[in-house]
Structure 1
Amino acid sequence: MLPPTPGSDPLDNAACDPGVTWTTGNVAEAFPGVSTALGFTFIHLPMELAFRKMFRGMGVFGKASLAVPERIEDQFWTAFAGRAAANINQFRAVAAFIPGTSATAIEQQLFGYVREGTVDENSLRRYPIIGVKAPRAVITLPKRHDRMFAELREWRLRTLPTIPGGSVADSLAILRDSRERFEQIMILHLLVAFVSSSLADRLTAMVADANVPNLESRLLSGVGSDENEVAQDLWLLAHERLDLPTFLDRHGYHGPHEGQLHSTSWREDPAPILARLDDYRTVSEDDPKAPRNRAAEQTRLRHAAAEELKKAVSPLKRRSITMLTNLAARFLALREQGKAGYLLTFDVARAAARRVGADLAGRGLLDDAADVFHLTFDELVSGDATDRRALVTQRRAQYEDRLRFRLPQAWAGMPELIEIGGDAATDAPVGTTVTGVAASGGVVEGRARVVRDPANTELDDGDILVCETTDPSWVSLFLVAGAVVTDFGGLLSHGPIVARELGLPCVCGTEEGSRRIRDGQRIRVDGDRGVVEVLSPVHATERAT
């Protein structure tokens, strides 16, 4: 793919075939909000290559498919108006060649819904090659993933201290290295995503055949995700059993809006986590809400659900249920580990970029060090000592303007931008229902807290977290939340996975729940049916509390 011409917009497309369907599902969770020029160009090509190399490693693609097409219609993902979008047509086409799944299953698991009128057209053409290559790729995947994640953690701790005192050339070399490491972890992470989707689909089919309702989410809980460790270490930090530097060494790559390269990590500003410690201090070690106890209880529920499913099937199927639930747990944990892995590369890359930005600002080539994020990757690493202040001013204004809009959940061709209004100014009528994906079981009533920025939000115990999407930096809010409702995502998205790990009812993929429900209204979340119901207006909730 050719790099954008100087002055062109690297974050938008002027045209698109109306026969191609796009979605913000899942990809908007990984890279939420509006990207800057550096943020998107840092990941776009490596991630596109990661998709292709992953499918090549499985035998789905031939060698010729490793070349990145120039047409966006033939790419797996792109950006419209600065926001990431995935090409549903490409994913469905690939899924048709993969044994053990289908295009419909992939669309449901990855994006949270299936469009009406879609038809599966599975092909056996690549099965012989996949039969040779895919088993080895999948069997060796967990150990390869664990090893790469451990290497990334060590590399981050080794590299970060060298950046402040290093040269600009050193920082540019680190930025290139970070990008290469991002691609490598994404190859494994994307394979994990497809394998976990297939395993979840098989569990869903087993539950449906056995006619045991409300079992699927329990079978996918208690897997031991990376966020369990973050929550536990936050608890230890609050109870002075862990010091702040150690916590930041382990988890400082997280932070608000962490899916964007220009964001600020906890390593740079720990204020968001320090503000949450009081919530953790109130939880004693033997409290069922303590992170370790929650994790243990969800693991127990997963095993109990597997036993319940075994009783509902024939003896021949019982052994496969044990194997399948254990595999699903392993790969779901790897799914969250992979997200943490690419965030490690982001943390090092942003530190290197800020170092270069400070140098460019000091030389008068940028007005401010933070403006470096409005340069593309190629512009930055070229070493071209050009005054780019006018270009950055244009891109910064464009970025600010794009913050006013969002993309639809799905569309064909070019999207029609939706202006983002403020939070609901009036109560949703009592009885209003918002539907989505039944992602984590249980029924809870409580006060809705519509959250846009986890760093500037206070939740009381039992409040229901209502938001567009979540990322690992939100885990501190999950401790006190009674339930979770998200606009985006599917069963295997971040929010639902963490909700299941902590035993919280969750409805995801509501599309507009955070815009319809007013902050402070009392609502009921039914995670078994995927339904959220408004019970009372704000003033009634305030009187009740």
Structure 2
Amino acid sequence: MPDASSRWSASRFVGGSEGRVDTLDNADCKPDVCWTTGNVADAFPGVFTAFTFSFVHEPMEIAMRRMFHTLGVFTADELSVSPRLEDQFWNAFAGRAAANIDQFRRVAGLLPGTSATAIEQQLFGYVRPETVDDNSLRRYPAILAKAPRAVTTLPKRHDAMFADLRAWRLASLARVPNLDEAGCLELIGDAKHRFGRFMLEHLIVAFVSSGLADRLTELTTKAGLPGLEARLLSGVGSDENEVANDLWELAHERLSLAEFLDRHGYHGPNEGQISGVSWREDPSPVLKRLADYRNIAADDPRAPRNRSAAQARLRAEAAAELGSTSRIVGAQVRLLVKLTARFLALREQGKAGYLLTFDVTKAACRRLGALLTERGVLADPEDVFHLTHGELVDGLRDLPGGLSVTDLVATRRALHEEREHLRLPQAWQGVPVLTKVEEPSTEGSAVGAVVKGLAASSGVAEGRARVVRDPATAEFDDGDILVCENTDPGWISLFLVAAAVVTDQGGMLSHGPIVARELGLPCVCGTEDGSRRIADGQRVRVDGDAGTVTVLE
């Protein structure tokens, strides 16, 4: 496959009117292919560096195909990755992750119990008006032969791989300070291999959990209880519950900082990008919040263990309410709620799993960058993230365009910085039109204005809106409303003191809504531009049942 980073380097931007910019990135994309930032941007928010994209793209694409082969959806002939953009499940436009809706629609048409409509809603948070379901039975025999065993054995396999990655991370990090350049590259290669293997399991979890959540939504709609699914998806006991509880334990001196970082130090700001700095490297974002957590007593309903227990009770009550509609449905609901809870917890565990491989890769890359800087190859250790994995393995020979290392890094760094100020649309066909991000509103919307989104977590809360771009530097007080574009697990330190959450992107199974439901926080997601329409400091009311945010003052 052609090196994507060389394509990035050659990209051109042409200025347009009204703050828009046209991009020639991936200009070979067919004009009728549909793309979206939904869901995939939840896993990899922000702008890829050349290294991160070269590390994740091919393993992810292969894992996606192996997943569908494991489930019987694909034949062996469909395992290879096509160089054609329209045949790939995901790629990057202007350095940002995007998923190929048409590819997922094609797969949905081969699967029993789902459809293109259901896949779009669960994976991307919305359904296009022109979506037409076109299901086929031709792969059903293979699916029935392979999928049940793959799915039933998955939870234990996923747990075992996650535990193995935890042990491997600690052992690998201990080795990094003594590695030479070859040792760093060997460890990066090992991490990349483990990333691909784990993503195969994680993608099956994500796909199964989406199907289970869709089935719950169908049951609640048929029972005349729309919206109940948000409570049914609460209290599943995700990995982030443990992060939240350990943050509280750390604040109350029941856990040392070293123990906390061993357990959770792979999280941190911009953690979906390997160039991001983890808590292991800089724990200041965690330490900054400890005073707030100390004010939460063990018997306070806001203490993480108490929140988790309350949400589990909420889920049980919702299951009982749905199950009371009929005896047959009640039996279905009990099994379905149990399975959905298990797979949603695995879904969040899966995100933590690939971040374990990222943290080892961060450490090895920074060690390699330091060694290359000592040799005079790089001007700055961080320059290593603007080189692809393949270029580093090849010893930085025959670089794109015949450029020197210094010139190539400078070009890519400038392009990366430019793209930080650009955004993709939520969905588009062919080549996207980028929007240049304006400065956040200082006045915000008028009193009474309503920002609409998806009702993702039940409850109503009022408070001061804090529009956060970077959780590491955010000024955030207990009871504030978290308003942002998107979240990843590195934002958990803010969730614990927030009164509610509002995000521009995402659907019911995106990171922000899942964590909000686990902690009992009202959440409205998928507002598209809420973080631009609401000014920092405005008082707002978040209604997680109606999916609205109302400006109060």
Asked if 1:531 corresponds to 2:544, the answer is: no
Partner of 2:302: 289
- Normalization by structure 1: what TM-score? 0.96
Asked if 1:316 corresponds to 2:333, the answer is: no
Supply the AA of the counterpart residue of 1:125: R
Moved more, 409-418 or 353-362: 353-362
Does structure 1 conserve the Cα–Cα contact (< 8 Å) formed by 2:117 and 2:132?
yes
Q: Aligned equivalents of 2:511 and 2:489: distance in 1?
A: 8
Gap regions ≥5 residues in structure 1: 537-545
Partner of 1:231: 244
Partner of 1:484, secondary structure, is: strand
Does structure 2 conserve the Cα–Cα contact (< 8 Å) formed by 1:365 and 1:385?
no
Partner of 2:9: 9
Q: Deviations over 1:268-315 (max 9, x none)?
A: 011110001011100011110000000000001101111111112x21
Pick the aligned partner of 1:440 from 446, 457, 481: 457
Q: Aligned equivalents of 2:539 and 2:294: distance in 1?
A: 27
Partner of 2:445: 428
Moved more, 401-410 or 421-430: 421-430
**Inter-CA distance 319–421: structure 2 relative to 1 (3 Å threshold):** same
Q: Deviations over 1:426-472 (max 9, x none)?
A: 23012221111110011122111111111111322221110001111
Q: Aligned equivalents of 2:112 and 2:79: distance in 1?
A: 21
Does structure 1 conserve the Cα–Cα contact (< 8 Å) formed by 2:265 and 2:278?
yes
Q: Aligned equivalents of 1:293 and 1:5: distance in 2?
A: 47
Does structure 2 conserve the Cα–Cα contact (< 8 Å) formed by 1:88 and 1:107?
yes
Partner of 1:140: 153
Partner of 1:151: 164
The 5 Å alignment of 1:317-336 reads: 317-336=329-348
Q: Aligned equivalents of 2:148 and 2:9: distance in 1?
A: 42
Q: Aligned equivalents of 2:168 and 2:108: distance in 1?
A: 34
Partner of 1:405: 422
Partner of 1:543: none
Asked if 1:506 corresponds to 2:550, the answer is: no
Partner of 1:75: 88
Partner of 1:542: none
**Inter-CA distance 433–286: structure 2 relative to 1 (3 Å threshold):** same
Partner of 1:539: none
Supply the AA of the counterpart residue of 1:298: Q
The 5 Å alignment of 1:341-360 reads: 341-360=353-372
Does structure 1 conserve the Cα–Cα contact (< 8 Å) formed by 2:479 and 2:499?
yes
* Cα displacement (A) at 1:8: 6.2
Q: Aligned equivalents of 1:7 and 1:351: distance in 2?
A: 27
Does structure 1 conserve the Cα–Cα contact (< 8 Å) formed by 2:391 and 2:397?
no
Supply the AA of the counterpart residue of 1:74: D
Q: Aligned equivalents of 2:249 and 2:5: distance in 1?
A: 51
* Cα displacement (A) at 1:14: 2.5
Supply the AA of the counterpart residue of 1:500: R
Does structure 1 conserve the Cα–Cα contact (< 8 Å) formed by 2:5 and 2:388?
no
Pick the aligned partner of 1:196 from 203, 209, 234: 209
Asked if 1:382 corresponds to 2:394, the answer is: yes
Q: Aligned equivalents of 2:85 and 2:451: distance in 1?
A: 34
The 5 Å alignment of 1:509-520 reads: 509-520=526-537
Partner of 1:86, secondary structure, is: strand
- Normalization by structure 2: what TM-score? 0.95
Partner of 1:541: none
Does structure 2 conserve the Cα–Cα contact (< 8 Å) formed by 1:470 and 1:495?
yes
Q: Aligned equivalents of 2:8 and 2:485: distance in 1?
A: 30
Gap regions ≥5 residues in structure 2: 12-24, 399-403
Partner of 1:367: 379
* Cα displacement (A) at 1:411: 0.6
Supply the AA of the counterpart residue of 2:529: E
Pick the aligned partner of 2:100 from 75, 87, 103: 87
Partner of 1:177: 190
Q: Aligned equivalents of 1:271 and 1:461: distance in 2?
A: 18
Partner of 1:16, secondary structure, is: coil
Partner of 2:433, secondary structure, is: coil
Q: Aligned equivalents of 2:107 and 2:237: distance in 1?
A: 30
Does structure 2 conserve the Cα–Cα contact (< 8 Å) formed by 1:7 and 1:391?
no
Does structure 1 conserve the Cα–Cα contact (< 8 Å) formed by 2:5 and 2:50?
no
Partner of 1:456, secondary structure, is: coil
**Inter-CA distance 4–510: structure 2 relative to 1 (3 Å threshold):** closer
Q: Aligned equivalents of 1:219 and 1:413: distance in 2?
A: 37
* Cα displacement (A) at 1:215: 1.3
Q: Percent identity?
A: 64
Partner of 2:401: none
Partner of 2:480: 463
Supply the AA of the counterpart residue of 2:421: R
Q: Deviations over 1:470-499 (max 9, x none)?
A: 111111111111110000100000000000
* Cα displacement (A) at 1:350: 1.1
Q: Aligned equivalents of 1:424 and 1:395: distance in 2?
A: 30
Asked if 1:419 corresponds to 2:432, the answer is: no
What is the total number of aligned residue pairs between the two structures?
A: 535
Partner of 1:119, secondary structure, is: coil
Q: Aligned equivalents of 1:426 and 1:18: distance in 2?
A: 39
Q: Aligned equivalents of 2:239 and 2:523: distance in 1?
A: 19
* Cα displacement (A) at 1:4: 5.1
Does structure 2 conserve the Cα–Cα contact (< 8 Å) formed by 1:428 and 1:517?
yes
Supply the AA of the counterpart residue of 1:88: I
Partner of 1:211: 224
Pick the aligned partner of 2:470 from 453, 459, 465: 453
Supply the AA of the counterpart residue of 2:458: G
Does structure 1 conserve the Cα–Cα contact (< 8 Å) formed by 2:9 and 2:411?
no
Q: Aligned equivalents of 1:507 and 1:427: distance in 2?
A: 18
Does structure 2 conserve the Cα–Cα contact (< 8 Å) formed by 1:446 and 1:522?
yes
Does structure 1 conserve the Cα–Cα contact (< 8 Å) formed by 2:9 and 2:415?
no
Partner of 1:271: 284
Q: Aligned equivalents of 1:329 and 1:153: distance in 2?
A: 23
Supply the AA of the counterpart residue of 1:9: S
Partner of 1:540: none
Partner of 2:177, secondary structure, is: coil
Moved more, 500-509 or 424-433: 424-433
Does structure 1 conserve the Cα–Cα contact (< 8 Å) formed by 2:28 and 2:85?
no
Pick the aligned partner of 1:45 from 58, 62, 74: 58
